[in-house]
Amino acid sequence: MFWFSHVWIEGCATGIEIGDVNGGPHSATFSQVKVASTTAEMIINNSRQIRFDTILLNQDPSATPTNITIAGTVGDGVAINIVRASTSI
């Protein structure tokens, strides 16, 4: 289990990537997080329980990243207040 709260992730190709083909965390929580990336903002490969609470998706200037990609097995989860910003940072 891991928990990220009140963080700002920017200047990277992939903002948040959870798990891989071999598995992932049992539980992951992201609360009050801002993500600005160039290729993909959130990739969920594998996890049993995920919680997203107040996430701001933004993009680096001159980039068009994918917002959320679910690429594998994901169990139960909660997503509250995920916002896509209309302008870049």
Which band of pLDDT confidence, cut at 50, 70 and 90, is reported for residue 89?
very low
**Average pLDDT score over residue span 11-21:** 90
Which band of pLDDT confidence, cut at 50, 70 and 90, is reported for residue 29?
very high
Q: In terms of C-beta density within 10 A (0-12 exposed, 13-18 middle, 19 or more buried), how is residue 32 classed?
A: middle
- Residue 87: its pLDDT value, please? 56
pTM equals: 0.83
- Residue 30: its pLDDT value, please? 93
CA distance 7 to 2: 14
